[in-house]
Structure formats: C-alpha cells, structure tokens
A and B are shown apart, each in its own frame.
Chain A
Amino acid sequence: MTQMATRRTARTIERTVAGGWLLLTSPRLMLVWLGVLFILFLLGGILPQVPPGMVPGSPQYAQWLSQTQARWGGAVEPLRVLGLLNIFGSRAFHVLLSITFVLAGLRLFTLWVPSWRHPPLSRTDAYQFILPQDARQASHTIERALAAAGQRPRSWLEKDGLRYTVARRTGAGRWLPGLFYLGLLLLLLSALVGWRFGWHGEDLELVLGETRPLGIGELAVRLDEIAVLPNEDDTMRRLDSLMALLDGPETVTQMITGLGRRATHGNLSLYQVGYGPAARVSARGAQGQALDVRRMLGDKSAQHQVRLRFSEQSQEQLLAVPEARLAIRLVHYPSLAAQDIAGRVLHVQVYEEASGKLLAEQFLTQGSELSVNGVTIDLALEYYVVVRPEKEPELPLAFAGGLLALLGVCATMIWPRRETWITVMGQGGASFCRLDIPARDAEADWFRIVQAILGEQAHA
C-alpha cells in the first residue's frame, strides 16, 4: 500500500516536472513572451518615460513632470499612478527580465544538453517504411541516412520491442544557435552587474580652467585645453579636450577626451557627451592695466578674466566692471537671421551701470575688443564641454553578450533546428520504421535526401 502510494507520488511529480518542462520550453510560451515584450516596447516608444538617472521626487523630476503635463495634459497623472511613466525602471519590468533570464537558460539547456529529450512540440509529419533488416541493422541504416543530412541520433532506448530515439544536428550547427541564448544571458547579467557595481555621475559643464568635483571622494576634473579640428568647409570635425584628473590638490593624470572618444583612468571613464558656446571676457583700463570683472548673478567674485557658459538653460549673461562703472550684457544666438548671420553669434551690449544708458553694442562672430569710455573690453568666443564620469564594469560583459547573440541569430539562420524522432520495431527479418519530423520540414531538401537513401534500402 505504502509502495503504491510512493509510486503514485513519484509519478505525479514526474508528470508535473515533465509538464512544466514542456510548458517552459514550448514555442507557444515563447510567442506569448515575445508578445508581452512587444507590447511593453510599444508602450515605451509611445508614452513619455522618465529619463534614466532621474529620481522621482527630485527637482529635476518635478520639472520633467511639469513639462510632460504641458504636452500630455490630464493623461499624465493616471499614467504616473499606473507606473507607465517609468516602465523600464519598475520592479515589474525587472521581474520580467528575470523571467526572460530563466526562459533563455532553459532554451539554451534544451539546445546544448543532448541527453534531455522531449517529444515533438509542434505539428509533425510521419514517414513510414519497412527495411528488410533486423531492428539493430535498420537502426544503423537510418543513422547513416540521417548522417547525410547532418544529424546524429542520441542513445537508443528500448522498450516493449520498440527502439526509439531522436536525431539532432551535429557539430557547429548544433552548438552555435545556442549562442543567442548565451548572449542574452550575458546581456541580462551585465545589466545586473551595472546596477550593482556601476556608477555614473552628473553631467559636468566645464569652461577652460574650470574645476568641478566628480562626486566620488576627493576626485575632481579640470579642463585644461580644448582643441578644435575643422573640416575643409570650416565645419567642426573634432573637438578634443585635455582634462586633468585631480585627487584633492594633486593632479593624478591628464586625459584626452573627445566626442566619441572615451578617456579612462583605472575603472573611471570620462565621456565628453556634448559641448556648447562659451565666452572669455576681460577688461583693460586706459593705461593697459587689467580691471576686475565680476558676474552679476551667481558667483560674484572679482577676477581679471571671466569665462562664461551659454548653456541651453541660460543664453544670457550679465557682467560688471566695477572700477569703470560699466555693465556688460552678453546674449548668445546659435544663428541670427535678422542680422544675416548663419553661424553662432554673440550680442554684446555695454551699459553705464548707474543710468542704464547703452554705450556700445556689437554682434560678434569671432573674438574682438570694444572700447568704451577709455576702457577696452576683450571678448573671445570659446567652447565649454559637457563631461560625464562613469564606472562601467558591465561593458565587456554587455558587448560580449551582444556579439554572441548576433552570432547565435546568424547561426540560427544558417542552421535552423532539425530534429527527427525515430521509431524502429523489429518483426521477423524485417523492421517497421517510422520517422517523425516537424511539419515545416516535410518538403525540405534534407528530408528528401534522407527519404531517397532509405527508399533505396527499403527496395533493396
């Protein structure tokens, strides 16, 4: 009684495991899964998504939300509540990625582990024939025929006078398609590594000579030099920056970054992710002595030379020359059709500080000087650069994964999956044989070859 109960339990477990396995590796589930991902990607493509690195609750997030509300109106609040504004940063998406990881692992397992056999998962066509040989010889004949189609049967099983097995591809055709799933696993693993061990700081805008902290320890970066390489038509070909990496007061190293050119030191990478217009302003008195210049907003410290950024948020800057009682207004325009200027231009206006009376005005497309009341104001057009510091331990893993996935997809194209389920039943001196193949291969060239070889043997 106990033995029967144990056997029943074992059978239930076996059936459950087999059913689960069939479900998890079935193409039907794969289709459903792809459908779910497809809908998610479509939603991500249509609905506004919180930019990466922006934390809900931060001032930047509030600004982004108000901008989104201006465009999307009342739809934003329900989308936010449903979590559809941050699909790819949500826990639900991470769970989906984890399930993808498991499914990819199982698919890889079915492709690479030969001992694990499963019945046909899709519609099949059967080909039946009789060979004038005993079961063992017939098995060998079938093996030879399938070898011509690049397939080899796994170990034969025997039960109740039946011999059966499954034949699959051999060599590279068997292994390489699995690289897709291996690549996918590595890609997902790289996301985990990046999330756990990676780091990226804020984008830093730097003008020449400016130092900004990176946000890790005492490390800071200073822009020492900018090199602009023009094309033949005077458009910009490259903009490279010479940076100094500082640890407190000490210079650790100097690095060159550029657009598309990463600078690394240890595990720290610096990317130059953008650049923009800047201006250098200084003033001289009547005898040529340097005068102090200071900003009227922000850092108001007096300097002999001031460098100003014209970022997207601030295209206007105000300066004062206290000793000459002058105020300078600088406005940057990417182009100014009203003045018939196609490229960038700096609109400079000099005022009397006390009365606000306009003393001088000029549109500059290159460095120049302005003389006002015996004071010479020197202006030079420069660039500022935007630098992003990052630590990216996941990069090698991610690109290895991408490459393997690509190889796997190409291999799948060249060596599509081929499987033949073989059944042989010996009776007297003959064997009744049956080959089951997926319906899609019923008219394939390889199966015609197998049929031709076996047909000859059957007639012989």
Chain B
Amino acid sequence: MPEMGIVGVRGVLFGLGGVAVVFAVAAWIPVILAERAPASENGLVLLVAVLSAAALWSLALRGVPRNVQRIIGVGLALALLVALFAAAPATNHGPRQALLNLAQVAQLVAAGALVTGALWVAMPGPTSRGQVARSISALALCWQSLALLLYALGAQMAWGSFWGWTAWECWQLATWTATAFLLVGSREMGWDRTLTKAGVLLAAGLILLVLFGVPPLLGLLGQPIPAV
C-alpha cells in the first residue's frame, strides 16, 4: 500500500494552488470574518469555504479516486468564489484586519484538511487510517499554528496585546491542542484504527464547532468575541 505523500511535487503544487485561491478570495471576506457571526447569515458561505478547502486538499493528497476529487474540488472551489464574491462587500480596515482575516482563512484551510481526513477515515476504502491521520493532522497543525501566529500579530496591532486568554482565544488553542493530540497519538504512539478514527473525528468536529458553534455560544454566555 503506497504511503500517502504530502510533500510530493504534485501535492505541493496542488496545495499551493488551493491555498492561493483561498488567500486570493480573502480580500472579499473581511466583513464576514470580522463580524464572526457565521451561524447566522454567513454560515453558508463559511460552510462552502470549509468544503472547498477540503476538496482542494483532497486534490493535493493521494488516496481517493481522482475523477471524483476533481469534480467535487473544482465545483466547490467555484462555489466558494461565487459565494464569497456575492456575499462580502469590499472594505479596508488596514493591515490589522487583513492579518485577522488571514488568520481566519488559515483556520478554514486547516478545517478543510481535517474534514478531508474525517471523510477518509469514516468511509471504507483502501487508504490506511494511520497514514491519513498522520498526514492530515500534521497539515492541519501547520495551518492552525499559522492561524494563531497571524491572529497574535493582528491582535497586537489592533488591541496592543497579542494574547489575552479571552474565551475566543481559548477555543482556538483548544482546537490546536486537539490536533496536536491526534498528531502525537497517531505518529508517536502508533494508535490503532479505532483510536485514530476517534482522534480525527474529534479534531475535525472541534474545529467545525469553533467555526460554526462557538460564536453563538459565546454570545449566549455573554463572552466577548474579539473584533476590530
């Protein structure tokens, strides 16, 4: 069984292409991302963004029938472009807003990777669960780390403090920790199939919860959500 390559030339090219698309459309989503109210009017756009990122990652990674990948990936990427273009007015809030937006985009890319992994481990097929978990968790952890760093830079510029242990920041860190947990478990502990599956599903579920469920939850609890 071939190892799922994540640093092959094709993978890197597809990955960079996908990321470029997502970053290019980031210019149109400041309002959606700054207001962070995805569960209401922006939920659909964010959902499309996550699925598109997932499709782009499935293009970059080997292990799934390629024709299906192409159709789903290209279709969803187009849907993302159209949805973002239609839904988000262009605004300019300066570099701090751009950094915070890019942090959110990086998190979307990470969510896409974890959703791809969750779909792979949930569906029967020849791909090794362990390989998927190792590759996906490492990929997602990179993007989540980038998201945290960009968020810290943006927060420093916007509020004069790069980390304030707010509820929002705690949830971000919890998702990072869950992915790191999956990475250590699958890569260093050699988890079996059941544990690996549970780990991937936990990490993917948590990042989706943070994107879609946490903003309304924090609103309900009266916890502040940082916004410029």
Contacts and interface: CB of A to CB of B under 8 A. Distances in A.
A327 B63 CA distance: 77
Contacts of A261: 94, 157
B3 interface: yes
A402 B141 contact: no
A370 interface: no
B188 interface: yes
A215 interface: no
A46 B167 contact: yes
Contacts of A27: 184-185, 188-189
Interface residues of B, number: 59
A48 B184 contact: no
Contacts of A342: none
B5 to A, nearest CB: 8
Interface in B137-169: 138-139, 141-142, 145-146, 148-149, 152-153, 156-162, 164-168
Interface stretch (A282-290, A300-308, A412-420): A412-420
Contact of A413 (B95, B139, B148, B168): B139
Contacts of B187: 416-417, 440
A52 B159 CA distance: 13
Given A71-B221, A269-B160, A409 B145 contact: yes
Contacts of B222: 48, 71
A35 interface: yes
B92 A237 contact: yes
What 7 pairs across the A-B complex have the smallest Cβ distances?
A271-B160, A260-B96, A44-B170, A27-B188, A413-B138, A45-B170, A41-B174
A199 interface: no
A30 to B, nearest CB: 5
Contacts of B170: 41-45
Given A269-B160, A273-B159, A41 B171 contact: yes
Contacts of A45: 167-168, 170-171, 174, 214
Contact of A41 (B149, B160, B177): B177
Interface string A84-111: 0001100000000000000000000000
Tell me the interface secondary structure of chain A in the complex: helix
Contact of B185 (A31, A38, A49, A123): A31
A259 B158 contact: yes
A122 B207 CA distance: 28
Contacts, number: 146
Contacts of A71: 221-222
10 contacts: A31-B181, A31-B189, A34-B177, A34-B181, A48-B221, A237-B94, A261-B94, A261-B157, A405-B149, A414-B7
A44 B2 contact: no
A192 B93 CA distance: 33
Interface string B67-104: 00000000000000000000000011111110000000
B122 interface: no
B160 A390 contact: yes
A262 B160 contact: yes
Interface string A235-247: 1011000000000
Contacts of A445: 2-3, 5
A288 B1 CA distance: 92
A444 interface: yes
B159 A271 contact: yes
A396 to B, nearest CB: 12
B6 interface: yes
A192 B185 CA distance: 30
Interface in A367-411: 388, 390, 395, 398-399, 402-403, 405-406, 409-410
Contact of B95 (A30, A260, A395, A444): A260
Interface string A264-293: 000001010100000000000000000000
Contacts of B178: 38
A439 interface: yes
Interface in B161-207: 161-162, 164-168, 170-171, 173-174, 177-178, 180-181, 183-190
Contact of B142 (A395, A410, A417): A410
A74 to B, nearest CB: 16
A445 B142 CA distance: 23
A41 B165 CA distance: 9
A238 to B, nearest CB: 7
Contacts of A414: 7
B128 interface: yes
A271 B158 CA distance: 8
Contacts of A122: 188-190
A399 B134 CA distance: 28
B228 interface: yes
A37 interface: yes
Contacts of B94: 237-238, 258-261
Interface string A412-447: 111011000000000000000000001110011100
Contacts of B160: 200, 262, 269, 271, 273, 388, 390
Contacts of B3: 443-445
A420 B146 CA distance: 32
A6 interface: no
Contacts of B96: 259-260
Given A45-B214, A49-B166, 11 more contacts: A30-B184, A34-B177, A45-B171, A48-B222, A122-B190, A235-B91, A406-B142, A414-B7, A440-B130, A440-B186, A444-B3
